[in-house]
Amino acid sequence: MVTRSLKFWASSLLYATLLRECHAQQSDANIGSELGGKLSSDASIYFPGSALFNNATARWSQFGKPNISVVVEVANKYDVVETVKYATAHNVSFIAINGGHGNIDTLENVHNGIEIWMHKLNSVQISAKGDTATFGGGVLSHQVIESLWASGKQTVTGVCDCTGFLGPALGGGHGYLQGRHGLIADNFVSLEVVTADGAIRTVTDKGPESDLFWAMKGAGHNFGIVTSFTQKIYDVPNNGVWSFVKHTYTQDKLELLFQYLNILGNNGRQRVDVMYWATINRNTDVDPVNPVIDIFVLQEGVETMDAEVSLSLLNFAPAVTVTHSGPYVNISTWTEFNIGSRACDKGDEGPQIARFPINLKSYNLEALRSAFNTFAQVTANNSALTHSTIMLEGYSNQGVQAVDEASTAYPHRDDTILVSSVIISMTAADRPAAMAFGDNLRDIFHTGTGEAEKHVYVNYASGDESLESIYGYEPWRKNKLSTLKAKYDPENRFGFYAPIPAAGF
Ligand SMILES: Cc1cc2nc3c(=O)[nH]c(=O)nc-3n(C[C@H](O)[C@H](O)[C@H](O)COP(=O)(O)OP(=O)(O)OC[C@H]3O[C@@H](n4cnc5c(N)ncnc54)[C@H](O)[C@@H]3O)c2cc1C
Ligand SMILES: *[C@@H]1O[C@H](CO)[C@@H](O)[C@H](O)[C@H]1NC(C)=O
Ligand SMILES: *[C@@H]1O[C@H](CO)[C@@H](O)[C@H](O)[C@H]1NC(C)=O
Ligand SMILES: *[C@@H]1O[C@H](CO)[C@@H](O)[C@H](O)[C@H]1NC(C)=O
Ligand SMILES: *[C@@H]1O[C@H](CO)[C@@H](O)[C@H](O)[C@H]1NC(C)=O
Ligand SMILES: *[C@@H]1O[C@H](CO)[C@@H](O)[C@H](O)[C@H]1NC(C)=O
């Protein structure tokens, strides 16, 4: 495969461009003869113009798209090691890509980079005891969900079938089961990590490199490429049944709804079996003038949602209601996060999507109304931004709070609500307006918290946030992260996802 692809592309102009622009230390550097010969027989190298190059580089959002000149489709951990060594020796940027859903602007700092395409590392092995499973570092969320389901097991994952499993996990990772079991990263038992020096390190809570294990749980994109990982898994309870409801309301219900969601949130002790999302978006079928409010609720373990949860929402007289119940693996279809849904659409063209996240502990109703009004005005004025959405996610947080905040790099365990204005602009020309819109909405929510600190989830960050808002304000935490950066990645090779400076921040 390597040989055939290389023959075909050896005379390509793009190939020449790569060599010219990669600051090669040896001018005759040749990724084909130098790297290709060191890769396993199942690995391949692709250049622009090939169909598989397009597959490998397709993005969910054009905002945050890395600029890639060559794709190395790795087939085992040694291929990752060889590619990292090649890239560092030639001072070429490289980036591991898994689900292709990352959309922080720092990914755009990859210029003429090597993409390490992870998708072939998709092995699954459930332990004999059935309490852990070991996966390849390129598994997608749905591969984890479905392979465990087939054995009556589950673990915490992101909610979207087609994101990588580790993209979310390395930033902490939020999902439906976090109320019971903590963040995705809280369930790591061990990680096999290729660091910038090309070493393969197996890290755990106890070993000599437990400091790297700590960093991988919240700041992981900064430290290495995970080639495999072992995760805690759990028996599926209650036959894996869940119930779902989605209500759509007109805007006059805003205060009533969010007052109710504050009650459901129960001062950080939301019931572990119930989670919700709310969105503010335009839906002209329901209201041609104003944005509407959607509320999605999931309850674990029942076919019919408890009246305590469902009745209040019905009493607020939704304009539209959709309900489902069935097995856990069907949730992504109800929420439209399944393979084939728009959330899984990727391409080398398409909208620019940036999020402007902020964490909350409860809703300030005045701030919410103010954000709603701004959203209504801007989306009415600027048709390029009209597909934007404000997302407000209320997962149960009890399992997250049960983990000592100092014990991982994830800094914001007491925050219970993830708000993110998802600003969708149709062309790059609308980007300045989109940024201003997102920052404006976030400022309104931040002012409403009455707090000086602004807490941001790294995996939703647009990239214009301060590093302390992403990684935490405590001096010991900032110092620890920079010290670890200096130890494991002094040259900042993993410098494309909210990069932590080795010199301190
Ligand atoms: C539709 C949608 C739904 C989402 N749902 C959730 C959710 O439920 N929970 C949640 O927490 N987040 C969620 N997110 C945010 C998500 O965590 C980020 O978008 C994440 O970056 C996606 O990872 P990816 O592998 O798909 O993206 P990629 O763009 O492939 O990768 C993102 C980053 O992760 C790094 N990376 C990927 N694989 C590895 C690896 N094996 N080793 C080291 N680094 C690696 C990449 O180098 C890159 O820096 C969602 C995002 C979208 C767009
Ligand atoms: C490449 O993309 C096509 C079209 O989306 C898809 O059918 C195919 O399975 C993909 N191949 C790989 C290896 O991802
Ligand atoms: C990467 O950037 C170069 C210009 O520096 C451009 O010619 C090329 O098309 C870009 N590649 C991709 C995949 O966007
Ligand atoms: C490596 O590349 C970076 C970015 O292109 C450049 O700033 C730096 O000077 C290069 N280092 C060497 C040793 O060539
Ligand atoms: C779950 O999804 C499968 C596959 O899409 C479908 O056949 C089945 O009917 C669904 N089950 C329920 C209860 O909706
Ligand atoms: C929307 O447009 C009107 C009229 O041009 C203007 O007065 C108003 O400030 C605009 N609002 C926003 C939020 O841009």
Closest-CA residue, ligand 3 atom 11, reads 67
The pLDDT value given to residue 342: 94
CB 91 less than 6 A from any atom of ligand 4 = yes
Mean per-residue pLDDT, 279-308: 97
> Would you say residue 5 lies in a domain?
no
Interval 327-383: pLDDT, tens: 999 999 999 999 999 999 999 999 999 999 999 999 999 999 999 999 999 999 999
CA distance 236 to 221: 30
> Would you say residue 355 lies in a domain?
yes
Mean per-residue pLDDT, 20-35: 54
Nearest to 201 by CA among 226, 221, 174: 226
- Residues 250, 226 share a domain: no
Number of domains making up the chain: 3
Return the number of other C-beta atoms located less than 10 Å from residue 30's C-beta.
Answer: 14
Mean per-residue pLDDT, 407-430: 96
> Would you say residue 476 lies in a domain?
no
pLDDT band at 144 (very low <50, low <70, confident <90, very high): very high
Tokens representing 69?
């000149």
* pTM assigned to the model: 0.94
Cβ atoms of 61 and 351 within 8 Å: the answer is yes
Taken in order 472, 477, 481, 486, the sign of the CA dihedral is positive
Domain span including residue 373:
240-471
- Work out which ligand 6 atom sits closest to the CA atom of 374: 13
- Residues 414, 294 share a domain: yes
- Residues 168, 65 share a domain: no
CB 479 less than 6 A from any atom of ligand 6 = no
- Residues 348, 276 share a domain: yes
Domain at 180, CATH number: 3.30.465.10
Interval 306-340: pLDDT, tens: 999 999 999 999 999 999 999 999 999 999 999 99
Decide if pLDDT at 9 tops 50.
Answer: no
In angstroms, how far is the first alpha carbon of the chain from the final one?
45
- Work out which ligand 6 atom sits closest to the CA atom of 380: 1
Helix (H) or strand (E) holding 444: helix 431-449
From 372, 377, 383, 385, the mutation candidate for ligand 6 (largest count of ligand atoms within 8 A of CB) is 377
- Residues 209, 61 share a domain: no
Tokens 């859903």 sit at which residue?
101
> Would you say residue 325 lies in a domain?
yes
The pLDDT value given to residue 7: 30
Beta-bridged to residue 134, according to DSSP, are 125, 230
- Residues 270, 205 share a domain: no
Decide if pLDDT at 264 tops 90.
Answer: yes
The pLDDT value given to residue 31: 86
From 20, 23, 114, 496, the mutation candidate for ligand 4 (largest count of ligand atoms within 8 A of CB) is 23
- Work out which ligand 1 atom sits closest to the CA atom of 158: 8
- Residues 403, 262 share a domain: yes
Of the three residues 212, 236, 260, the one that is the final residue of a domain is 236
The pLDDT value given to residue 33: 82
The pLDDT value given to residue 482: 98
Interval 477-503: pLDDT, tens: 999 999 999 999 999 999 999 999 999
Mean per-residue pLDDT, 183-189: 98
Mean per-residue pLDDT, 88-95: 96
Of the three residues 236, 252, 284, the one that is the final residue of a domain is 236
Cα of 142 vs centre of ligand 5, distance in Å, is: 15
Cβ atoms of 397 and 179 within 8 Å: the answer is yes
CB 111 less than 6 A from any atom of ligand 4 = no
One-letter amino acid of 100: G
Closest-CA residue, ligand 1 atom 53, reads 101
Cβ atoms of 464 and 188 within 8 Å: the answer is no
Ligand nearest to the CA of 373: 6
The pLDDT value given to residue 21: 40
> Would you say residue 479 lies in a domain?
no
Decide if pLDDT at 131 tops 70.
Answer: yes
Return the number of other C-beta atoms located less than 10 Å from residue 137's C-beta.
Answer: 25
Ligand nearest to the CA of 62: 3
CA distance 472 to 399: 20
Closest-CA residue, ligand 3 atom 12, reads 67
Closest-CA residue, ligand 6 atom 1, reads 381
> Would you say residue 327 lies in a domain?
yes
pLDDT band at 1 (very low <50, low <70, confident <90, very high): very low
Mean pLDDT of the chain: 94
Q: Which residues line ligand 1 (CB under 6 A)?
A: 60, 95-102, 118, 137, 158-160, 163-164, 166-168, 170-171, 173-175, 221, 225-226, 343, 459, 496-497
Decide if pLDDT at 24 tops 50.
Answer: no
- Residues 135, 55 share a domain: no
All residues at 6 or more sequence positions from 256 whose CB lies less than 8 Å from its CB, including other chains: 316
Decide if pLDDT at 160 tops 60.
Answer: yes
Mean per-residue pLDDT, 183-209: 97
Closest-CA residue, ligand 5 atom 8, reads 330
Closest-CA residue, ligand 5 atom 13, reads 326
Rg (CA), the chain: 23
Of the three residues 215, 236, 257, the one that is the final residue of a domain is 236
Pairing of strands 274-281, 292-300: antiparallel
CA–centroid distance for 332 within its chain: 16
Cβ atoms of 74 and 121 within 8 Å: the answer is yes
- Residues 97, 14 share a domain: yes
Ligand nearest to the CA of 146: 5
The pLDDT value given to residue 30: 74
Mean per-residue pLDDT, 66-82: 98
> Would you say residue 56 lies in a domain?
yes
Ligand nearest to the CA of 385: 6
- Residues 467, 346 share a domain: yes
- Residues 214, 319 share a domain: no
Segments in 123-248 forming alpha helices (H): 141-149, 166-170, 178-181, 210-219
- Residues 207, 112 share a domain: no
Coil vs helix vs strand at 461: coil
The pLDDT value given to residue 18: 42
Percent of the chain whose predicted confidence (pLDDT) is above 70: 94
Interval 197-232: pLDDT, tens: 999 999 999 999 999 999 999 999 999 999 999 999
Domain at 304, CATH number: 3.40.462.20
> Would you say residue 463 lies in a domain?
yes
The pLDDT value given to residue 32: 80
From 50, 67, 93, the mutation candidate for ligand 3 (largest count of ligand atoms within 8 A of CB) is 67
